[in-house]
Amino acid sequence: MGMKLVVAIVQNDDADELIDALTSSDYRATRLASTGGFLRQGNTTIIVGIPEESVNQVLNIVAGHAHPHHQNVVPNPFPTLTSVTLQAANEEPPEVQTAKATVFVLDLERYERI
């Protein structure tokens, strides 16, 4: 039986609900603290090892329990300094809209509970 690893990156706010939905559908999931490269802010990466035929159901669960977010961003290694500069210039930081989730589906060579 082919196995897949679903890697889903979601907003921290959505992680509890998504983990609950996965575990109540009998999927085993692991939650990793992560940080986005662009916003440099915390997000959550959830990994789920599953049989190939469960991929669509897991993706539906992710889609049903994660939400897009609007955020004003300061994509800068010196955010405080930039905020001050933007405030002084009376300018709003640019806004981005995140996806509900960023999902990768990988082939799993081997899956064991030893």
Report the distance separating Cα 69 and Cα 29, nearest Å.
23
Site for ligand 2BA in 43-72 (CB under 6 A): 43
* Nearest Cα residue to 64 out of 54, 76, 56: 56
15 contributes a contact to ligand 2BA by CB under 6 A: no
Report the distance separating Cα 78 and Cα 98, nearest Å.
22
Nearest approach, Cβ of residue 77 and ligand 2BA (Å): 13
37 contributes a contact to ligand 2BA by CB under 6 A: yes
Which residues contact ligand 2BA (rule: CB under 6 A)? 9, 36-39, 43, 96-99, 102
